[in-house]
Amino acid sequence: MNATPRLLGGRYEIGDLLGRGGMAEVHLGRDTRLGRTVAIKMLRSDLARDPSFQARFRREAQSAAGLNHPAIVAVYDSGEEPAVEGGVPVPYIVMEYVEGRTLRELAAPGRPMPWREALTVMSGVLAALAYSHRAGIVHRDIKPANVMVTPTGDVKVMDFGIARAIADSSATMTQTQAVIGTAQYLSPEQARGETVDARSDLYSAGCLMFELLTGRPPFVADSPVAVAYQHVGEQAPAPSSVADDVPDAVDAIVLHALQKERGGRYQTADDFRDDVDAVLSGRRISSAALGAVAGAAAAGAATEALGAVPAAAATTTLPAAVPEAAILPDNGRDDDDTPNRTGLWVLLGLLAAALLAVAVLVLPGMLGSGGPDTPVAQKVAVPDLSGKTVEEATAALKAKGLTLGEQTTRADDTVPQDQIIEQDPASGAQVDEGTAVAVVVSTGPESVGVPDLVGKTKAQAKAALEQAGLQLGDVTETDTTEQEKGRVMSSNPSSGDQVAKDTKVAIEIASGKVKVPNVIGQPLADATTTLTDAGLKVKAVKYEVSTQPEGTVTSQTHQNDTVEQGTVIELVIAKAAPSTPTETATPTETATPTPTSTGTPTD
């Protein structure tokens, strides 16, 4: 055994095997240059000879390398290990090493999460998807095994192995018409082998959310093909039908995400996340999600009335499978690694083809050929839905035997938010019972962001507002030293606020004036600082003898006045009175007393 660690690119030491997937093995690694632990994903050597697998592996590196978000596992580097002994170069990806457990480990079958914890995890997953979708990348394989939760509770989405750019309009979920993905989390369009977009990820996220809440996927069957059929043809149950502690609002969110038609789902991950966060914070969820509950109930009633559709009939929506295929079982890894993997895919392909053939034979009899035994659909008039909310429209359509179809939104200056602007088919049109009516729902007046006006002149602020579709409102002047004269200090609404078009924005402008502070009694140095900080100039006019402490201000000009910035303030500073020397008294000469003559005694 060679004790020297294997080195990739002259930099990355390969350590223990962490796991295997359908395309790659993941090893613990160490970046010898930066001294950090990494995860190294290497394309399996048995697949490295296949150009299609090499291309897909490189695409993962390219897809994930441009995504820099705290909820997405970061890609640091990629390269190819040179061929050894006549072999082929093996591509590798160097990624952030994340300590934690996957949702497959945390939410094992039959062990649901508390609903608040599940919503917190979903908020992180949707934040990652919102970021990747804005970057133009669809993940295409959202499932519990591809989401990790760190010991600190952070969510990390990983494995962009089958991700593609949204702009690649030819990017379907098929490889020679074979479905790629994990059956329990496939969107209906993925199961049909159609072109996918960001909304396909949101359906898969809805499946993930259902499983976190209930401990089981929304659809369960004996085979991946049968599960894929259910995604295409069966209405998802409400999570509360499995876990009775799930609130109605959470049911509504999941059912909205699991709509069969893309137009009926959340249109962005941000919208999905907004509703999740709304429930967590006790706010009302969107009307579109609330409408999904009514739509699900109507669809459930219709299914019950018509009876179950044989599995063979539904396989008309599934593409024929081929050896590369396809619908992957979710065993906590990317796919099955048994030696008979290729044979299994061939068997599944043959099964799908056989079901398709049966469907071709059975469907004409089920659907009828227009003969005398075929019931004629009843015609009904489409009601006028304009001005109604989604809930009201759903009830009006149900009363006519119709259903609510695709819901899109649009800003409108005249129709209030959450009310219907347009419908298709139009009001009064004669249609078959069961027809879905698409609607356009108003989001209210078009909103725009208030631009940053601070520091601009009044004219510049007005121009910036008009360019943003807003108007200049009230202008007030404020005495301040924080801005130059004539410059905007603040706006109301504030910068970045979303407001209706043509909203008036008030601004506060620096007047260029200041109130002169009272500095009498302050030492000259302190007074000078106070005045200059206020935007004024200082001039000490004179020093006067004062009884005030020497060096302090005894008087000033413009005391407590409001003046223009830069005004000169004159100060009078106290000085001590000069000391007068004390005069010494001149000594006074004292006269010497004349002795008194004593009389001569007389005889």
What distances in angstroms separate CA 120 from CA 242, 265, 277, one per listed residue?
20, 20, 8
Q: By three-state DSSP, how is residue 385 classified?
A: coil
State how beta strands 75-81 and 90-96 pair. antiparallel
DSSP state of 72: B
Spatial separation of the C-alpha atoms in residues 236 and 234, rounded to whole Å:
6
Amino acid identity, position 247: P
Spatial separation of the C-alpha atoms in residues 439 and 589, rounded to whole Å:
129
The token pair that represents 221 in the structure block: 């069957």
Spatial separation of the C-alpha atoms in residues 57 and 62, rounded to whole Å:
9
Contacts of 289 (CB under 8 A, 6+ apart): 249, 252, 253, 255, 256, 266, 275
Is the preceding omega at residue 425 within 30 degrees of 0, hence cis? Answer: yes
What distances in angstroms separate CA 332 from CA 31, 108, 574, one per listed residue?
28, 10, 86
Helix or strand run (H / E) with residue 448? strand 447-449
Report, as residue numbers or ranges, the catalytic residues: 141
Spatial separation of the C-alpha atoms in residues 407 and 78, rounded to whole Å:
42
Q: Which of 202, 124, 198, 188 is nearest to 163 (CA)?
A: 198
The token pair that represents 218 in the structure block: 């929304």
Spatial separation of the C-alpha atoms in residues 22 and 43, rounded to whole Å:
9
State how beta strands 36-43 and 24-31 pair. antiparallel
Q: Which single residue is written with the structure tokens 């697998």?
A: 53
Q: By three-state DSSP, how is residue 574 classified?
A: strand
Q: By three-state DSSP, how is residue 52 classified?
A: helix
Q: Based on the number of CB atoms within 10 Å of its own CB, is 400 exposed (0-12), middle (13-18) or buried (19 or more)?
A: middle
Contacts of 510 (CB under 8 A, 6+ apart): 477, 478, 480, 482, 483, 484, 485, 486, 487, 489
What distances in angstroms separate CA 538 from CA 40, 523, 525, 534, 568, one per listed residue?
68, 13, 11, 11, 6
Q: Based on the number of CB atoms within 10 Å of its own CB, is 82 exposed (0-12), middle (13-18) or buried (19 or more)?
A: exposed
Helix or strand run (H / E) with residue 404? strand 403-410
Q: Which of 410, 412, 404, 411 is nearest to 438 (CA)?
A: 404
